[in-house]
Amino acid sequence: MEDILRPIYQERASHPNTLAIVMIEKRNETSPLTDNLDVALLVIVSELNHPLYVKHYEYDDKKASLTVMSKDDVNKSILLGTNRRMVDWILNGKVLFDRNEYIAELVERLRTFPFSERKLKIGIEFAKLIRRYLEGKVFFESNQLLDTYNHIVHALHHLARLEVIDRGFYPEVTVWSQVKQIEPQIYKLYKELIEGEESLEKRLELLFLASDFLIHSKTEVGAGHILSIMSERDSWYFHELYQHPELQHYSVDLSVLLEFLVEKKYVSIERQQTKGKGVFHRVYFVDKKC
């Protein structure tokens, strides 16, 4: 298949804009990694006018895809986890073209996982964990058990990814095989939720009790990124936090995370009078003693 696709990727390699080309081959009969196609080609370019460019090809009984992404979008998908396959593609794909060792340096970055990136990814996962967990609690209190189950499974996934990142690894698609080795306690919670013999209501009730403790124990690690940013200034309006270049990555989860940190006394509030009688601005700050 590589020989068949060579004219296609060689044409791309000749463009000065192209930084790298990676080939990912289908490993199993069913292969979400390649969208069930036989081969996926990833072309990384320095700049692209649109966020993603994908073509599909067919030759005899073989199928292939060609995905063109800018280096900024590759970095963003790795950082935010918006394309879970990206890390697998970069680490395990066959490098067909590598200008100025771009892929080699990216692989090294993935393997060393710089601390600044780790802190940001932990913060994003923690914010998602808090939202899913609190929404699950609301459903549980209204006896919507299946909706509760759905949210709590997602919350556990975010907790698992947080733990993997905190240990210095990028979470893979098969995150639970990583967590089983790294943090058996979280893995056991997940297994008990999905395989336990008690009623669903009882399993969820027990999980909430255990998760309250786990989330509390992870708060300083999970909130470390946002608290370090907030400590750079004496006070913040919410819109200032939302527009911060790094906190923008938290997106809609920033508000719920901030309120959680207020409730847990990690963040304090000062009220500032507005022009409206009895209406105040909320100003957030971190106590320097914390």
User: Can you give the residue range of the structural domain that contains 288?
Assistant: 230-290
Taking only the tens place, the pLDDT of each residue in 259-287 is: 999 999 999 999 988 888 888 899 999 98
Among 127, 131, 108, CA closest to 119: 127
Assess whether 8 and 106 both reside in one domain: yes
In percent, the amount of the chain with pLDDT more than 90 equals: 64
202 with 282, same domain: the answer is: no
Alpha-carbon distance 111 to 90, whole Å? 11
A 10 A CB-CB count for 112 gives: 10
Co-location of 167 and 182 in the same domain: yes
Whether residues 81 and 32 fall in one domain: yes
pLDDT at 107 over 70: yes
The residue out of 222, 246, 276 marking a domain boundary is 222
Domain boundary among 84, 112, 140: 112
pLDDT, tens digit, 9 for 90 and up, residues 18-55? 999 999 998 877 778 888 898 999 999 999 887 788 98
120 & 179 share domain: yes
Same domain, 55 and 140: no
Are residues 258 and 184 both part of a single domain? no
Does 108 share its domain with 13? Answer: yes
Q: What is the CATH number of the domain that holds 35?
A: 3.30.460.10
- CATH number at 120 reads 1.20.120.330
In tens, the pLDDT along 158-174 reads 999 999 999 988 887 67
- How far is it, in rounded angstroms, from Cα 208 to Cα 202? 10
Can you give the pLDDT at residue 88? 87
Tokens of 144: 């919507």
- Looking at the 3D structure of the chain, how many domains does it have? 3
Assign residue 251 the CATH number of its domain.
Answer: 1.10.10.10
85 and 162 inside one domain: no
pLDDT tens, 208-233? 999 889 999 999 999 999 999 999 99
The pTM of this model reads 0.85
* The last residue of a domain, from among 112, 128, 156: 112
Q: For residue 22, which of 82, 84, 68, 61 has the smallest C-alpha distance?
A: 68
Same domain, 170 and 243: no
Query: Is the predicted pLDDT of residue 289 greater than 60, yes or no?
Result: no
Same domain for 197 and 100 = no
Sole residue written with tokens 């680490």? 91
Q: What is the CB-side half-sphere exposure of residue 251 using CA atoms within 13 A? A: 8
**Statement to judge: residues 213 and 271 lie in one domain:** no
